[in-house]
Amino acid sequence: MTRRMLAALFAIALAGPAAAEETREIGYVNTALTNLGLTRSHRVVVERFNDPEVGGVSCYISQARTGGVSGMVGLAEDPGRFSLTCVATGEVRVADGARRGERGEQVYESNTSLFFKETRVHRFIDEEQRAVVYLAWSTRLVDGSPYNAVAVVPYR
């Protein structure tokens, strides 16, 4: 029973973003060589995801990924720092189901450690200003607050 639980936890830890319908790695840059190049280097990865409830918007998130042996097998803890930008790639269409009030709705999730640390993106609809607001945040607190970033896309 214990082996099955560990295998399930390991599979969950290795899983990619959970909520976005389409997540695609756009590219990466190596930031530091590890183990004389015999293992994956430390890197910054850029991924794109599309919001399933808002058509015509693509969001790009860059995140640091830890290299080395532990990074290759999914046991490393990635830094909780990231950057986010979202752009209109066509006519922005907000589905009625996207309006979730002041708590927003999660549209992206990426595990950044084996246990308990994730990067999440929530969507909010500012109907007064006719804008879609995306908030990226880390579930890990640093000096009392999480890292966070915001991106805004207007719609008509």
Q: Taking a C-beta distance cutoff of 8 angstroms, is the pair 148, 136 a contact?
A: yes
Domain ranges of the chain: 2-154
Amino acid letter for position 41: S
Strands 82-94 and 118-126: unpaired
- Reported as a single tens digit per residue, the pLDDT across 25-49 is 999 998 877 666 666 688 899 999 9
Tokens of 16: 């990619």
DSSP states of 96-123 = GGG--GGG-EEEEEEE-SSSS-EEEEEE
- Reported as a single tens digit per residue, the pLDDT across 93-110 is 999 888 778 999 999 998
- Non-local (6+) Cβ contacts of 32 within 8 A are 41, 42, 67
Q: What is the pTM of this model?
A: 0.74
CB atoms within 10 A of CB 14: 12
